[in-house]
């Protein structure tokens, strides 16, 4: 983990401490402070992989009077390092509940620290060694590379198992931090859905012009994405929409292929635009510009085949009078029996 990633995690934890979400917890399951008692416990003492941990507890005044509508901050730690964060509200009986999946956790002993400003407590559980998970892939991207201040920034990504199947990993808290240069700007903690996906919308008119980075962490896995907020077009032209989407599967063999740039562009040298399969270049490919869209004509593709689209550097010139850098992305056509998901439009970015 590099210095910036470590700094991000420390700042994230510090922000939660200031907000009353984390703190030094006592060693006992019950802690009293100023006449208040906070308890925390889990439904089991040990878990297998892909189980749900149910964390429960209560906030009482004295030993019996429940305290409702109080924010409870929760931190999951392993070897003293924060792994996940939660926040819930005590109910009518002073009780609270926090649940999370063990899917993305490593084996070992975990501590759960609960904080309610007036009281703190902690408990622990074990994730069994024989349930060592596969590695994971965490992705993150924005829907554009350059934004005007009046446009919302859409951040999205997914957590998948790093294997041939790449199963989605649901119910995992993703720590997100937005930086303007080296300055932390905002934090978010979405939870992955049934498809392993997560999202964060940064409202329009909330970011000043500048270069931004979004850092994502999920246990030991991390990812990052960059974007710019500008009052005018700056920099080189960059692709903001890939069609079919990068890494799409189940794409029709006669699908339209195109790349949409983030600014007005003119053709400079389109002869190097190509489509290949396993290094073998496809014949009958040509490219033309239609506004900001580079349309790529091609013959009918083979079913169940992975293709790579390559757009070389210098293919187009932007309104800033700068040429594009090389870019490319891959997709897979649907099999002859028609199986596979449809490769619709989205804004995932590929790699050159």
Whether the Cβ atoms of residue 38 and residue 70 lie closer than 8 Å to each other: no
What does the mean pLDDT of the chain come to? 83
b or e along 5-33 (b: 16 or more beta carbons within 10 Å of the residue's beta carbon)? eebbbeebbeebeeeebbbebeeeebbbe
Provide the CATH number for the domain around residue 82: 2.60.40.1930
Which residue is associated with the tokens 């009986």? 93
Whether the Cβ atoms of residue 331 and residue 245 lie closer than 8 Å to each other: yes
Whether the Cβ atoms of residue 235 and residue 146 lie closer than 8 Å to each other: yes
pLDDT digits (tens, 9 = 90+) for 300-313: 999 999 999 999 99
Q: Say yes or no: 9 and 106 in one domain.
A: yes
Q: Say yes or no: 145 and 82 in one domain.
A: no
Q: Which is higher by pLDDT, 245 or 163?
A: 245
Give the bridge partners for 302, in sequence order: none
**Of the candidates 214, 230, 246, which is a domain's last residue?**
230
pLDDT digits (tens, 9 = 90+) for 85-137: 888 999 988 999 999 888 778 888 999 999 987 789 999 999 987 544 457 88
Whether residue 193 is predicted with pLDDT greater than 70 in this model: the reply is yes
Q: Say yes or no: 255 and 309 in one domain.
A: yes
Q: Say yes or no: 244 and 207 in one domain.
A: no
Whether residue 349 is predicted with pLDDT greater than 50 in this model: the reply is no
**Of the candidates 131, 153, 173, which is a domain's last residue?**
131
Provide the CATH number for the domain around residue 332: 2.60.40.1220
Whether residue 13 is predicted with pLDDT greater than 60 in this model: the reply is no
Q: Say yes or no: 113 and 18 in one domain.
A: yes
pLDDT at 221: 81
Q: Say yes or no: 11 and 127 in one domain.
A: yes
Q: Say yes or no: 167 and 122 in one domain.
A: no
Q: Say yes or no: 12 and 118 in one domain.
A: yes
Whether residue 234 is predicted with pLDDT greater than 70 in this model: the reply is no
Find the range with the poorest average confidence among 105-114, 145-154, 188-197: 145-154
**Of the candidates 102, 131, 160, which is a domain's last residue?**
131
pLDDT digits (tens, 9 = 90+) for 284-297: 999 999 989 999 99
Task: Pinpoint the alpha helices (H) of 145-302.
Answer: none
pLDDT at 344: 44
Closest by CA position to 51, among listed 116, 127, 109, 153: 127
Structure tokens at 172: 């995992």
Q: Say yes or no: 71 and 176 in one domain.
A: no
Q: Say yes or no: 243 and 283 in one domain.
A: yes
Q: Say yes or no: 41 and 126 in one domain.
A: yes
Which residue is associated with the tokens 């909330």? 206
Helix (H) or strand (E) segment spanning residue 88: strand 81-89
Structure tokens at 148: 């005007």
Cis peptide before 244 (omega within 30 of 0): yes
Whether residue 16 is predicted with pLDDT greater than 50 in this model: the reply is no
Residues 6 or more apart in contact with residue 117 via CB below 8 angstroms: 20
pLDDT digits (tens, 9 = 90+) for 165-174: 788 989 888 9
What is the radius of gyration, based on Cα positions, of the chain? 24
- Torsion angles phi and psi, residue 329, rounded to 5: -155, 165
Residue numbers of the domain that contains 329: 237-352
Q: Say yes or no: 126 and 155 in one domain.
A: no
CA distance 15 to 5: 15
- Torsion angles phi and psi, residue 11, rounded to 5: -65, -35
Structure tokens at 165: 């199947």
Total tally of structural domains belonging to the chain: 3
CA distance 47 to 99: 13
CA 167 to chain centroid, in Å, comes to 16
Whether the Cβ atoms of residue 6 and residue 102 lie closer than 8 Å to each other: no
């Amino acid at each position: 983990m590099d210095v910036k990633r470590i700094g991000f995690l420390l700042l994230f934890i510090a922000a939660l401490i200031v907000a009353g979400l984390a703190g030094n917890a006592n060693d006992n399951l019950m802690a009293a402070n100023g006449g208040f008692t906070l308890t925390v416990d889990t439904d089991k003492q040990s878990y297998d992989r892909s189980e749900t941990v149910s964390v429960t507890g209560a906030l009482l005044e004295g030993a019996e009077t429940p305290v409702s509508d109080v924010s409870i901050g929760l931190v999951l730690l392993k070897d003293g390092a924060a792994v996940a964060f939660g926040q819930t509200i005590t109910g009518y009986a002073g009780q609270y509940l926090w649940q999370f999946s063990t899917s993305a956790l490593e084996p070992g002993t975990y501590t759960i620290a609960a904080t309610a400003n007036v009281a703190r407590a902690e408990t622990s559980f074990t994730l069994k060694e024989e349930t060592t998970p596969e590695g994971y892939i965490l992705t993150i991207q924005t829907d554009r590379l350059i934004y005007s201040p009046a446009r919302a920034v859409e951040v999205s990504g997914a957590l998948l198992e790093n294997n041939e199947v790449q199963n989605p990993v649901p119910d995992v808290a993703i720590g997100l931090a937005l930086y303007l240069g080296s300055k932390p700007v905002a934090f978010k903690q979405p939870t992955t859905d049934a498809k392993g996906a997560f999202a964060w919308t940064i409202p329009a008119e909330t970011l000043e012009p500048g270069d931004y980075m979004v850092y994502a962490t999920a246990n030991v896995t991390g990812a990052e994405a960059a974007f710019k907020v500008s009052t005018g077009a700056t920099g080189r032209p960059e692709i903001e929409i890939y069609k079919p989407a990068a890494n799409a599967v189940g794409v029709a063999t006669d699908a339209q292929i195109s790349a949409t740039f983030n600014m007005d562009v003119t053709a400079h040298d389109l002869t190097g635009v190509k489509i290949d399969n396993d290094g073998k270049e496809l014949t009958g490919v040509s490219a033309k510009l239609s506004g900001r869209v580079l349309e790529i004509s091609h013959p009918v593709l083979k079913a169940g085949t992975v293709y790579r689209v390559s757009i070389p550097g210098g293919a187009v010139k932007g309104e800033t009078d700068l040429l594009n850098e090389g870019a490319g992305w891959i997709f897979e056509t649907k099999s002859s029996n028609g199986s596979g998901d449809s490769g619709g439009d989205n804004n995932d970015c590929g790699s050159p």
